[in-house]
Amino acid sequence: MEEYKEKLKIQNITLGLCGTVIGVLSVWSALAEAGILPFFIPVAGDSHWQSQWRGFVSGAAFGILALILFGLAKNSKALKNEKELKKLYIKEHDERTIQIWTAARAAALQTSLIVGLSAIIVSGYFSITVSLTILACVLFTSISAALFKAYYSRKF
């Protein structure tokens, strides 16, 4: 259980650093939207698009920050209470849950590749830029999956 405590401490440090960076970016984006930091502006689009984009970035950053803070609170609570620590350890190492997540991720990967390939074909009739961007995403996903398969084939 001591190894798991150390893992949670390292995870808290990582979450804290990421939370700090995301917090700074979200405040920075909100200040840019208010006109206080005008140099944080997207290069493309008109002022309406730029405003929407900064709003999206601010909202997404605050949402991610909320998830990070939730993770920090959960880990801190577990580190202070042995019963909570054991409960969290069991939850994270439950073999059935791990298998369900593994199967779900495999199905999601296959679905995203099929949808991506279909989107390449359809978008090619409307925009070559969009079509090539989706192709790059599908290629990246396919190559990543193949590399991870090779890695885990050797590991297990």
Q: Please tell me the distance from the alpha carbon of residue 6 to that of residue 75, in angstroms, as a whole number.
A: 11
Q: How buried is 25 (Cβ within 10 angstroms: 0-12 exposed, 13-18 middle, 19+ buried)? A: middle
**pLDDT of the residue at 32:** 76
Q: What angle (nearest 5°) sits at the alpha carbon of residue 124, between those of residues 118 and 126?
A: 115
Q: What is the pLDDT of residue 25?
A: 82
| Structure-model confidence comparison of residues 82 and 58, the more confident one | 82
Q: Pick the closest to residue 17 from 53, 74, 71 (CA basis).
A: 71
Sequence letter at residue 120: I
Instruction: Give the span between the Cα atoms of 29 and 52, in whole angstroms.
Output: 11
CA distances from 118 to 13, 14, 114, 130, 131 (A): 42, 38, 6, 13, 10
Contacts of 59 (CB under 8 A, 6+ apart): none
Nearest to 73 by CA among 27, 8, 22, 24: 8
The pTM (predicted TM-score) of the whole model is 0.71
- For 1-14, how does the pLDDT look when each residue is reduced to its tens digit (9 = 90+)? 889 999 999 999 99
Give CA separation, 82 vs 9, 21, 52, 75, 88, in Å.
Answer: 14, 31, 46, 12, 10
Average pLDDT score over residue span 110-129:
95
